[in-house]
Structure 1
Amino acid sequence: MRRADRLFLLIQALRGRRVVTARRLAELLEVSERTVYRDVRDLQLSGIPVEGEAGVGYMLRRGADVPPLMFTRDELEALVVGARLVEAWTGSRLARNARQALTKIEAVLPESLRASGERSRLYAPPVPRHAPVGQMLDRLHAAIEAHEVLELDYRREDAQTSTRRVRPLCLAYWGAVWTLGAWCEMRGGFRNFRVDRIGTMRATGERFEEAPGTSLADYLRAVDAET
C-alpha cells in the first residue's frame, strides 16, 4: 500500500469515531504500531487535527476540515458493481438509495475517474422472477426496523405449509436466495425462512423488544455455532 493511501485510510479510520487505539489502527491498516505513531505525527505536523497520545489513543477533532473523499479506479469499480448488485437483487427502497448514493459520488469525481466507473464491464442484470421477492424484501426490511411481530404463511421445501408468528431480526443474501432470520414464537427458537417461500405476510401491529436469548446477537451466535 502506498504511504499516501495509508495516511488517507488512517484519517478515514479516525473520522466520526471516539478514541481509537494505536493497536486497533495498526490492525486496520495492517502495519506496526510504530508505523501508526509515525504516521500520526506526520499528519499532525501537516496540520491535520489529530488529537491524542501514544498509550491512550487518537481521534480527529470534531468539525475538522480534512481532505475530500477520493477513490482509486479499482475501489470505484467495486462501488459501481456493488450498486448494480443492490439494484438487481434487493427491494426498490435499497435500489433507489444505491442509485442516489452512486450519483452523489460520481458528482464529485474527476472526469477521468467518472469515465472509468462508467466503463466497468461487470454487470448484474435484473431478473424478472426476483420482482415479487424484491417487494417482500421492502416490507420485511421495514418490519425489522420497526421491531414488528409478523404473521407468515410459509411453504417448506417438502411443500407443507404453516402459519408462523415471528420476530424478524435480519435479512441475508445467499446468492439469488434471500432468507429472513427470525425468532419463531411457535417453535420457541431461531429459524431461517426463505423469502421466496413466504406466501403472505401480515402485520400484527405488535412490537417486540430484543431480549437476552432472542436478540440479533444471539441469533448470529447460533448461526456461527452451526457453521
Structure 2
Amino acid sequence: MRKAERLFQIIQILRRSNRPVTSAQLADELEVARRTIYRDIAHLIGQRVPIEGEAGFGYVLDPRYDMPPLMLTSEEIEAVLLGIQLVEKLGDPAITNAARDVISKIASAIPSDLLPFIAEPAVGLKPGEITNGATFDTRPLRRAIRDGRKIQLDYCAANSEVTHRIVWPVLLGYEEARCLLIAWCESKKAFRHFRTERVLNLEVLEETIGVSKRKLRQQWLQWRETELSRLRPTP
C-alpha cells in the first residue's frame, strides 16, 4: 500500500470508530509495523489533521473533520464493484441500473490513476445465472417504504389460496433466489414475509402507516430476534 493510501486509510479507520484506536490495531489492519503508524500519525498531525491521543492509549479523530467523499482507495473501489456484481445477480432491473449509475459517477470523479481498478478489478464473482429469475418491479415497494405508506396487495400463498392484504412495509430483503417484502400485516396482526413473485396485484395507498419508520423497523427486529430464539435448539 502506498503511503498516500495508507494515510487516507488511517483517517478512515479513525473516522468510523467511536472509541480510541490503538497503534497496534492500526498496524494490524494496515499490515505494517507500529513504528510506521507512529510516523504516519505524526505526518497527519503535521498536516493539521485533528488527531488526538498518544501511543499506548489510542487515537481519535475530531468528528468535525471531513474529507472529499470520493477520495477512494483501490480496495474501496473493488468492494463497490463486487457489490454491483452481487446486485446484478438479484435480477432487479431498477436496482441494477442504479448500481451501474453509481460506478459511472465514481469513474467520472476519481483520479485517472484509479481508473484501471474499475476497468480491471482484482475481484470478481463466478459467472452464472441470475439468482432471482423474477423481474418484479420493486420501485413502488421501495417508494412506499421510504414514504411510510401502506400497501394493498393480492397475494397467492403456497397452497394457491389468494388473499387480500393491507400491509405496512418495513424492508425489501433478498434471500438466495427470492426477493421478500417484509411487512406488518393488518389482517394477521403480525409481521410477515411476502415473496414478491407471488404478489398478483399491488397498490401503494395514500394512507400512511402512522408509525415512524424507525419504530416499525425496531419492532420487526425485536420480532425477528424472538422468532430466532424460539427456533434455536435448547442445550
Measured in 1, the distance between the counterparts of 2:40 and 2:132 equals 51
Measured in 2, the distance between the counterparts of 1:68 and 1:144 equals 31
Q: Could you tell me the TM-score, scaled by structure 1's length?
A: 0.73
Paired AA for residue 173 in structure 2 = A
Distance apart, 1:203 and its partner CA: 2.1
Asked if the contact 2:152/2:166 (under 8 Å) is kept, the reply is yes
2:50 aligned residue: 50
For structure 1, the residue ranges without an aligned partner over 5 or more in a row are none
**Residues 67-216 of structure 1 aligned to structure 2 (within 5 Å):** 68-72=71-75, 76-89=77-90, 91-107=92-108, 108=110, 109-110=112-113, 111-117=115-121, 120=124, 122-123=126-127, 125-126=129-130, 129-131=133-135, 133=136, 135=137, 137-210=138-211, 215-216=216-217
Aligned length: 216
1:28-57 per-position Cα deviation (integer Å, ceiling 9, x unaligned): 9966xxx7x958843533415124446894
SS in 2 for 1:82: helix
Measured in 2, the distance between the counterparts of 1:140 and 1:46 equals 50
Measured in 1, the distance between the counterparts of 2:10 and 2:206 equals 45
SS in 2 for 1:89: coil
Paired AA for residue 220 in structure 2 = Y
2:19 aligned residue: 21
Measured in 2, the distance between the counterparts of 1:100 and 1:81 equals 15
Measured in 2, the distance between the counterparts of 1:174 and 1:25 equals 39
Measured in 2, the distance between the counterparts of 1:28 and 1:197 equals 49
For structure 2, the residue ranges without an aligned partner over 5 or more in a row are 229-235
Q: Could you tell me the TM-score, scaled by structure 2's length?
A: 0.71
Measured in 1, the distance between the counterparts of 2:80 and 2:165 equals 38
Measured in 2, the distance between the counterparts of 1:151 and 1:28 equals 51
Paired AA for residue 90 in structure 2 = W
User: What do you get for the CA RMSD once the two structures are aligned?
Assistant: 4.0
Identity %: 25
